[in-house]
């Protein structure tokens, strides 16, 4: 039997089998949304589309060794993050998530207790965002843990926002602050390297709670979607920042057939991120542009909505859309104009 730090035997997956494991992890799920007619326990979930609303669907996969490292990622945080990164894509459509499915490929090194913690995080994210877990799949893996989550959401047709609607003179806005998740990852990787060289040295993360949470437990911006509804603002385009500000902004510009100018002194960066970047000898602006995994919302709005948005503390106006196709610019603090290039996370290459 596997042993935990308290010498308590950990349960092996083969003690339950596939269907026993599914029942063990999902037996207490209670469906909350009226559109969730049938959830876990049958051959397929049954979802009833709401009247006058359209369904959006998105899938993300997290692979051990590529997207997460179990040496420093708690299972509960991992489960929470696996859900929220999918919900972020739904919010980026100006829609509200309603259901998810969860599929796992699990190696025999994972205990039942570890999967219970993973599901604690998954169900916590579902509870906070009012989402039902309605199905999924489990299988074995010889290459580590793989988590695939599909999220379904809904919105009125007239409320949906795509990436291709940005127009000349639109304002470019971003929620929250950027670069923190990347700094959190770099600190975790630094301490991992130190640990591998000398396991007797304990990691020191004092003062870095914020950036570590940005990496390990990102929060999708439901509050920003609610803000749009409260203010009567509909973005002209929107995307979530998973691959870095520069990459995401260029996605919007390319799909909208426009250019952009953003200003370094307008990019929101938390003081903790700046301190962490300086310690790691990194440029905070570069971290914000190219780091990724912030899961903030990048969006454009018409100039007509400037008065509604200008005093909102949760968003920053960082630039504007231009008519110059394929001309993407960053104006630095010393007023030098630099070309903006996509250097963010590449999922196929596993890095910048």
CATH of the domain at 103: 3.30.1330.10
Distance CA 122, CA 84 (A): 9
- In this structure, the number of other CB atoms found within 10 A of the CB of residue 341 comes to 13
Q: Residue 346: inside a domain, yes or no?
A: no
The widest CA-to-CA distance across the chain, in whole angstroms, is 65
Asked if residue 155 and residue 271 are part of one domain, the reply reads: no
Residue 84 confidence (pLDDT): 97
Q: Answer yes or no: do 226 and 104 share one domain.
A: no
Number of domains in the chain: 2
Query: Do residues 316 and 174 touch, judged by C-beta distance below 8 A?
Result: yes
The arithmetic mean of pLDDT across residues 141-160, rounded, is 93
The answer to whether residue 30 sits within a structural domain is: yes
Closest CA to 123 of 62, 61, 155, 75: 75
In angstroms, rounded to a whole number, what is the distance separating the alpha carbons of residues 195 and 32? Answer: 44
| 216: CATH | 3.90.650.10
Q: What is the mean pLDDT of residues 256-282?
A: 97
> pLDDT band at 18, cuts 50/70/90?
low
Report the alpha-carbon angle 174-340-293, nearest 5: 45
Q: Looking at the structure, do residues 272 and 333 belong to the same domain, yes or no?
A: yes
Beta strands in the chain (DSSP E): 2-3, 9-10, 36-38, 46-47, 53-63, 96-106, 132-140, 146-156, 171-175, 237-240, 259-263, 297-301, 315-322, 328-331, 337-339
Residue 87: CB atoms within 10 A of its CB come to 28
**Between these two residues, 347 and 336, which has the higher pLDDT value?**
336
Expressed as residue numbers, the domain containing 101 is 2-159
Most confident of 1-5, 55-59, 231-235: 231-235
Question: Given 120, 138, 159, which residue is the final one in a domain?
Answer: 159
pLDDT at 2 over 50: no
d(CA 190, CA 180): 15
């Amino acid at each position: 039997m596997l042993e935990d730090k308290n010498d308590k035997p950990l349960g092996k997956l083969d003690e339950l089998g596939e269907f026993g494991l599914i029942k063990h992890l999902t037996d207490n799920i209670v469906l909350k949304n009226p559109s969730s007619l049938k959830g876990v326990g049958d051959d397929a979930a049954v979802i009833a589309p709401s009247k006058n609303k359209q369904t959006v669907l998105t899938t993300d996969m997290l692979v051990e060794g590529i997207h997460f490292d179990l040496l420093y990622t708690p299972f509960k945080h991992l489960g929470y993050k696996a859900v929220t990164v999918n919900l972020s894509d739904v919010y980026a459509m100006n829609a509200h998530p309603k259901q998810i499915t969860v599929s796992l490929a699990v190696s025999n090194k994972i205990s039942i207790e570890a999967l219970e913690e993973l599901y604690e995080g998954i169900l916590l994210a579902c509870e906070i965002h009012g989402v039902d877990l309605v199905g999924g799949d489990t299988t074995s893996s010889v290459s580590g843990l793989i988590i695939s989550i599909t999220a379904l959401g809904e919105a009125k047709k007239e409320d949906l926002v795509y990436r291709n609607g940005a127009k000349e003179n639109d304002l470019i806005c971003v929620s929250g602050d950027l670069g923190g998740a990347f700094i959190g990852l770099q600190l975790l990787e630094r301490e991992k390297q130190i640990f591998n060289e000398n396991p007797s040295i304990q990691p020191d993360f004092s003062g870095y709670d914020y950036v570590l949470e940005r990496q390990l437990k990102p929060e999708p911006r439901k509050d920003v979607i609610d803000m749009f509804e409260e203010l009567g603002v509909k973005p002209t385009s929107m995307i979530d920042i998973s691959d870095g500000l520069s990459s995401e902004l260029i996605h919007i510009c390319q799909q909208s057939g426009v250019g952009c100018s953003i200003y370094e002194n307008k990019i929101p960066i938390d003081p903790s991120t700046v301190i962490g970047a300086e310690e790691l000898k990194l440029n905070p602006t570069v971290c914000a542009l190219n780091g990724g995994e912030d899961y903030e919302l990048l969006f454009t709005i018409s100039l007509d909505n400037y008065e509604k948005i200008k005093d909102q503390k949760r968003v920053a106006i960082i630039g504007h859309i231009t008519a110059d196709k394929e001309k993407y610019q960053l104006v630095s603090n010393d007023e030098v104009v630099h070309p903006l290039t996509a250097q963010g996370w590449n999922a196929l290459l596993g890095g910048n």
